[in-house]
Amino acid sequence: MLYSAKINDAIRTSALAHAGQYRKGSSTPFITHPFAVALITQRYVDDEDTFVAALLHDVLEDVPERVYSRSDMNRDFGAEIVGIVEGVTEPDINEPTKEAWLERKQGYIDHLADLSDMRPLIISCADKIHNMSEIIREYKTSGSAIWSNFHASRAREIWFYESVLEVLRRKVLPTEAIEDYTDILNNLKKLR
């Protein structure tokens, strides 16, 4: 992927939008996640819009509208990028209860299953690969206490990642992406 003004704008926008946010249960700045997802995405597709959307993929989900809104993203990057980002965005929930978590995750799985655009599916794959990688990394220092950082049990988290994988397999993502996802999921399942 060649560096461009559009990529530079996405890097800057993502960094500013996620300023002050941290990875769940960690002191790691959140911005490391969109950067990692964009780099992972680049393994499977060489497309500037996909790379830009990967950098912005959590903005609509995790950044207050007063900081950076859907209309801001449309103004700055256009409807194409907004559409890709919306394809990766989980539905809203009002309260982070276990029941709401399950409803939100099932809604996300159903949403992915309805997508015909491969770009948000590839970003979702890269997003989950990075999330699972971070859980494994953090497990090395925190042990099973890592699971207390989530709104769901270890079994539910595994269910979610397995369910996303099934959708991605049906959507016929690049073989390398499915293999990478499967390998990291198998490693995650070994954690107790």
* CA atoms of 3 and 17, how far apart (whole Å): 21
CA 64 vs CA 18, 21, 121, 157: distances in Å: 10, 11, 24, 25
Catalytic residue among 61, 99, 110, 176: 61
What share of residues in the chain are helix, strand, coil (percent, to 5)?
A: 70, 0, 30
61 is catalytic: yes
Run of H or E residues at 85: helix 79-88
CA 43 vs CA 36, 61, 107: distances in Å: 11, 24, 27
Q: How many residues does the structure list for the chain? A: 192
Catalytic residue among 48, 49, 62, 72: 62
State the DSSP code for 74: H
20: left (phi over 0), alpha (psi -120 to 50) or beta: left
- The residues assigned a catalytic role are 61-62
